[in-house]
Amino acid sequence: MLAKKFRRQWPLHLMILPGVILVLIYSYWPMVGIAMAFQKFTPFKGLFGSKWIGLDNFHYVFALPETGQIIWNTIFISIMKIGAGLIAPITISLLLNELRNELIKRGVQTLIYLPHFLSWVILGGILIDILSPTNGIVNQVLGWFGVEPIFFLGSNKWFPYTLVMSDIWKEFGFSTIVYLAALSSINPSLYEAATVDGASRWKQTIHITLPGMMPIVILMATLSLGNVLNAGFDQVFNLYSPQVYQSGDVLDTFIYRIGMQNAQYGVGTAVGFFKSIVSLVFITTSYALASKFANYRIF
C-alpha cells in the first residue's frame, strides 16, 4: 500500500527534494557547531581538536556584569514590539475596512506595505538622516513647537522606543494584510442585521468585527511569543552605537560582538545556545496555546 502510494506521489517527493537538501545543509548540519558552546574553541585545532570545558562558557557569560542588562533589554524591546505589532495593524486594518473608496484603500495599503521590502541597511540610513538632532526633519518639526532637539539614536532614554516605532513603521503594513483577510471572511449578513437593528458603525465594530477577528488575533499573539528573545539583530546593528549599549544592546548583537569581533567563539555559541533553548520553550508553549485557543495545528 505504501509502495503504491509512493509510486503515485514520487513526482511530488522529487519536487520537494532540493528544498529538503538545502534545509539539511544550512539548518541541520551547522547544528554540529553547538559543540563549541562546551569547548575552549580554537580555529586552528577545529571542532574535534579543541579542549572540552563543560559549562565553563555559560558560567563565564552569566558572571559578566552586563549580561543581566542585555537580557532585560532584549525582553523589554521584544515585548514592546510584540504588543505594538498587534495593536498597530489591527487598528489600521479596522480603519481601512471602513473606507468605501477602493482606489484610496488600495493606495494606502501599498504605501504602508512598501517599507517591508526595504532592508534595514537602507532604512537605517534614512532614519539616521530624519532623526538627526541637528538637521533631521523630525527635530525641525519639534523645534517649531519649542521642543529642544532629541538625540533619538544616541540617548539611552529614547533609543528603545525609537527601535519599536521604526520596527512598527517597517512591518505593520505586512501584518495589516493578515487582519484585512480575516475581516473579509466575516459574514456580511451580520452587518446587515445590525444595521436593521439600528446599531452604529462603532457598535458593529465592537460586537461583530472584533469578535470575528479574535481567532486570528489570538493566533498571531500566541505565535509571536516564540520571538520574545529576538529583538531584531539587523535593525539594532544598523542603528545602535556604544553610547546606547546600556539600553539598546540585545542578545544577538552581544553574540556578534563577543563571538565575531572578540573571537570568543565558544562563549558566543554558548549565548546563542541559551537563546535557542529559551526560544524553543516559548515556541512550544505558544504552539500549544494556539492549538488550544485558536484551533491552529500544523499536523
Task: Tell me the CATH number at 242.
Answer: 1.10.3720.10
What nine digits make up the cell of 251?
542578545
Residue 45 lies in a domain: no
pLDDT of amino acid 298 = 58
Residue 188 included in any domain: yes
* pTM over 0.85, yes/no: no
Residue 24 binned pLDDT confidence (cut-offs 50, 70, 90): very high
Report how far apart, in Å, the C-alpha atoms of 59 and of each of 119, 251, 254 are.
Answer: 36, 16, 16
Would residue 75 count as lying in a domain? yes
**pLDDT value, residue 232:** 80
Phi-psi region of 232 (alpha: psi -120 to 50; beta: other; left: phi over 0): left
| Residue-number span of the structural domain to which 117 is assigned | 50-293
Answer yes or no: is pLDDT of 253 > 60. yes
Tell me the pLDDT tens digit for each residue of 94-150.
Answer: 888 888 788 888 888 888 888 888 889 998 888 888 888 888 888 888 888 888 888
Does some domain include residue 59? yes
The Cα 299–Cα 290 span in angstroms is: 13
Answer whether residue 257 shows pLDDT above 80: yes
How high is the pLDDT of residue 251?
86
- Domains contained in the chain, number: 1
- Domain membership flag for residue 251: yes
* Domain assignment present for 6: no
Each residue's pLDDT tens digit, 182-240: 888 888 888 888 888 888 888 888 888 888 888 888 778 777 777 777 778 888 888 88
